[in-house]
């Protein structure tokens, strides 16, 4: 299969990659291959090949919300790093799915474009952020994305508009329709004062440094906040700050973060998440929703 993949000549291929190098938790086994398609036609050609040969595959952004198992992922991962086009037309941003979200946030802030400040500390790509409806500080992608281009299950390119994307708290239409692949987004911002925007970003960065365990590998918030409450508060009330399974620990700084202190396995992380979920359900009858995705 790898030889056939190489013959397609669709872009760079890395065989037998360690998923701990491609995820922010720094855990996980190997995959068969990661492919970096050069452009749209290559991506379509690659998807056609994978579907025709019934090969498992998945789009991989910055790996900030994925937990691969310790076993081999028996499939091909696709990274859209080359889909990094950026056009800025007044307040309208057209950007490729592989573009880095914090990088875009800083670029538009310096131009005096407001509305994306919430994203400065979210370590994802545009495509991943749209898929997850990534957000912070009471804002998210649903407030700024006007439309996206996707490849559908028949390998046709089509446009979905904001009203089609069903953005809600950490969810989107794309999560429920996994055959759709985001390749580009149009973001609409508003004019503001560059210094004021940069001040907001700097202030929030300082607050994150004080309240979040940014010095360790993690994937940000583990659980979505339940209605009118905070997952971190519930976990802390359980006495779970500092609790560990193997090398995976509940952060002492923020109970809704699980951190890898250097030798965690994917199983350690997964088991700790499942244990917390179970204990919160047992004590509070609240079924916490895991923000991260387990990949087998």
Catalytic positions, written as ranges = 170, 221, 291
Chain-centre distance for alpha carbon 239 = 29
Report which of 246, 231, 208, 216 is spatially closest to residue 286, judged by C-alpha positions: 231
**What is the rounded distance in angstroms from the CA atom of residue 173 to the CA atom of residue 180?**
9
217 half-sphere exposure, CB direction, 13 A CA radius: 25
| 113 class by beta-carbon count within 10 Å (0-12 exposed, 13-18 middle, 19+ buried) | buried
13 beta partners:
35
> Burial, 70: exposed, middle or buried (Cβ in 10 Å; 0-12, 13-18, 19+)?
middle
d(CA 251, CA 217): 11
Q: What is the C-alpha separation between 35 and 47, in angstroms, rounded?
A: 11
User: Cα(186)–Cα(149) distance, rounded to whole angstroms?
Assistant: 9
Residue recorded with tokens 């400040």: 117
């Amino acid at each position: 299969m790898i030889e056939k993949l190489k013959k397609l000549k669709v872009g760079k291929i890395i065989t037998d990659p360690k998923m701990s190098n491609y995820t922010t938790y720094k855990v996980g086994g190997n995959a068969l291959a990661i492919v970096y398609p050069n452009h749209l036609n290559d991506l379509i050609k690659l998807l056609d090949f994978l579907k025709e040969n019934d090969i498992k595959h998945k789009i991989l952004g910055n790996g900030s919300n994925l937990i691969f198992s310790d076993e081999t992922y028996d499939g091909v991962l696709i990274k859209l790093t080359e889909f990094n086009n950026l056009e800025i037309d007044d307040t309208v941003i057209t950007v490729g799915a592989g573009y880095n979200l914090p990088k875009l946030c800083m670029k538009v802030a310096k131009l005096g474009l407001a509305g994306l400040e919430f994203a400065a500390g979210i370590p994802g790509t545009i495509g991943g952020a749209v898929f997850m409806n990534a957000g912070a500080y009471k804002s998210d992608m649903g407030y700024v994305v006007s439309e996206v281009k996707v490849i559908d299950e028949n390998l046709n390119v089509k446009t979905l508009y904001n009203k089609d994307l069903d953005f809600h708290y950490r969810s989107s239409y794309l999560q429920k329709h996994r055959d759709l692949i985001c390749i580009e987004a149009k973001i609409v911002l508003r004019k503001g004062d560059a210094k004021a925007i940069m001040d907001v970003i700097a202030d929030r960065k300082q607050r994150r440094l004080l309240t979040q365990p940014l010095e360790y590998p993690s994937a940000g918030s583990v659980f979505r906040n339940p209605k009118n409450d905070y997952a971190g508060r519930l976990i802390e009330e359980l006495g779970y700050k500092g609790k560990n399974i193997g090398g995976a620990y509940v952060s002492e700084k923020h109970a809704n973060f699980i951190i890898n202190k250097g030798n965690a396995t994917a199983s350690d992380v997964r088991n700790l998440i499942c244990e917390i979920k179970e204990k919160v359900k047992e004590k509070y009858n609240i079924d916490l929703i895991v923000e991260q995705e387990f990949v087998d």
